A and B are shown apart, each in its own frame.
Chain A
């Protein structure tokens, strides 16, 4: 009777039960946020990001007539790069670390399903990410303000897409952490980011390479791997080129669907896992 893994649905349909289930996911999320946001390493990372943003001031002063551009370029790059490190770093704090440190042991026997737990974790981490990105954004705008540069809302578009990118990356990290150790999950997530970023360069190999099989393979990989280039509008925003809202919406749609995919897969694996 109990030889199979937990196979109960998350909510059995009644509205009250759904509300209750959602509330529990919310509690897990808030608690995850509280736990991760106090991590000292996180503080240091954000601090470094702010330092890097601040240092762009120096670089800006060197390049004649290009100070603002350099500050914006470097600022966005810092938010993105540190965001990636933070996303992966807190991503591994998910299932892997919980399993390794056994904090899960006291939570799962409580009346909460494994799926609710995982979803709550994900949302909590997204919240942490949001706060970190917001802090870095404020830092960047503060610097620009000090440089007497008028408020440029276009930067927010780039930062919004960076945030989506990070939310997607965290979901990738979650998936890996359901079945590998912390360190491997971090490495795999980083690897997926790099290949996902460059996959678009490989999608049109027909006519370029003599083999018939290789272009098909890279084409499939291009669609299967998460395409992080969809979220990169830094250059356009800094150059002042228009970024249409439709582009933002489609990128959001892509992120939402892919994240859903990753979370479904993660829950599926997690529900069957025997904990050490």
Chain B
């Protein structure tokens, strides 16, 4: 497996201590009151706030997820950071430098949402072109292109014109071009979109690898399970406003919400004996699905369930709140305001 060592920054520390070690370094991304207004409406041009006073902090070496429903302002945030649109207010810094700074741009990579590339170039030519824009030498460009194209599984299609690419192929090429310059910090807008489950797995692994090599990853997604799996820190946007931000473990109530148990052959007699401990029971054929409110209640009932009363324990599942649960809760609360 190839590791992605950024040329200027060598992080060889394990990911866990990255946060503590970083507190004195410059932040990867920092925004203060970042805002963007658009003129909306076809006739009467009204000002619409797409992003409202966003305060964000991303540390180096972490995987940061920006989530929110469609239209929340995720892509707007990225476009502002990339200099594709200009802020209506507030300020932002990437790697300690102002937006648009060429030295900063040299160290970052970007994958746009629904990327679109020059139709008549081939994959290899595109990688070469972008390599040129980063000022890489011919040898570096060739080596990097080969390496990255293989990494994203596009080696065979490298010499096919881009207009013939499928959505998945374009997405893979997009990820490859974001890494051409061995960036210190990568911005990915919906990196999993257009990929089949296999592809999504590969990209997940790739993102993890990037973090192993000390690269900071900032990505937007509306697939919350991906975010939950990968991210160290998360920010939730809704309707242009920041709803919540922080470490994943802080945001989600990590404590158990329930213990789901499946038992076969639960006799009514046994059922009445454990009646106090479970909260819910649902019968499905020979099996019963029990829901205990916490571990102690389950532990109380456990000896009875395995104690030879004719019942057989099929499975035990501790349930935590998922990011999705939390997210829906927060967003719905916001909608009611």
Q: Knowing A6-B83, A8-B100, A35-B120 touch, does A109 contact B134 (C-beta < 8 A)?
A: no
Q: Is A214 an interface residue (CB 8 A)?
A: no
Q: Are B133 and A110 in contact (CB under 8 A)?
A: yes
Q: Are A111 and B134 in contact (CB under 8 A)?
A: yes
Number of B interface residues in the complex (CB < 8 A): 41
Chain A residues whose CB sits within 8 angstroms of the CB of B132 once the complex forms: 24, 27
Q: Bound state CA distance, A47 and B106, in angstroms?
A: 43
Q: Is the interface of A mostly helix, strand, loop or mixed?
A: loop
Q: Is A229 an interface residue (CB 8 A)?
A: no
B297 CB, nearest partner CB in chain A, Å: 54
A2: contacting residue among B86, B103, B110, B125, CB under 8 A: B86
User: Looking across the interface, which residue of chain A has its beta carbon closest to that of B34?
Assistant: A2
Q: Is A105 an interface residue (CB 8 A)?
A: yes
User: Looking across the interface, which residue of chain B has its beta carbon closest to that of A116?
Assistant: B133
Q: Is A146 an interface residue (CB 8 A)?
A: no
Q: Are B110 and A103 in contact (CB under 8 A)?
A: no
Q: Are B121 and A35 in contact (CB under 8 A)?
A: yes
User: Looking across the interface, which residue of chain A has its beta carbon closest to that of B84?
Assistant: A275
Q: Which of B78-133 contact A (CB under 8 A)?
A: 79, 82-92, 98-100, 102-103, 105-106, 108, 110-112, 114-121, 125, 129-130, 132-133
Q: Is B177 an interface residue (CB 8 A)?
A: yes
Q: Is A4 an interface residue (CB 8 A)?
A: yes
A93-133: contact bitstring with B at CB < 8 Å (1 yes, 0 no)?
A: 00000000111111111111100000000000000000000
Q: Bound state CA distance, A108 and B111, in angstroms?
A: 12
Chain B residues whose CB sits within 8 angstroms of the CB of A64 once the complex forms: none
User: Looking across the interface, which residue of chain B has its beta carbon closest to that of A101?
Assistant: B116
Q: Is A3 an interface residue (CB 8 A)?
A: yes
Q: Are A20 and B120 in contact (CB under 8 A)?
A: no
A111: contacting residue among B82, B133, B161, CB under 8 A: B133
B106 CB, nearest partner CB in chain A, Å: 5
User: Looking across the interface, which residue of chain A has its beta carbon closest to that of B174?
Assistant: A106
Q: Bound state CA distance, A274 and B76, in angstroms?
A: 11
User: Looking across the interface, which residue of chain B has its beta carbon closest to that of A17?
Assistant: B102
Q: Knowing A105-B115, A106-B110, A113-B102 touch, does A20 contact B135 (C-beta < 8 A)?
A: yes
Q: Are A110 and B120 in contact (CB under 8 A)?
A: no
User: Looking across the interface, which residue of chain B has its beta carbon closest to that of A112?
Assistant: B133
Q: Is A38 an interface residue (CB 8 A)?
A: yes
Q: Is A208 an interface residue (CB 8 A)?
A: no
- Listed from nearest, the 7 A-B pairs whose CB atoms lie closest are A38-B120, A105-B112, A111-B105, A27-B132, A109-B82, A274-B85, A1-B91
Residues of B within 8 A of A (CB): 79, 82-92, 98-100, 102-103, 105-106, 108, 110-112, 114-121, 125, 129-130, 132-135, 161, 174, 177
16 contacts between A and B (CB under 8 A): A3-B87, A27-B132, A34-B125, A35-B118, A101-B116, A102-B116, A103-B117, A105-B112, A105-B115, A106-B130, A108-B84, A109-B84, A110-B134, A111-B134, A111-B135, A112-B133
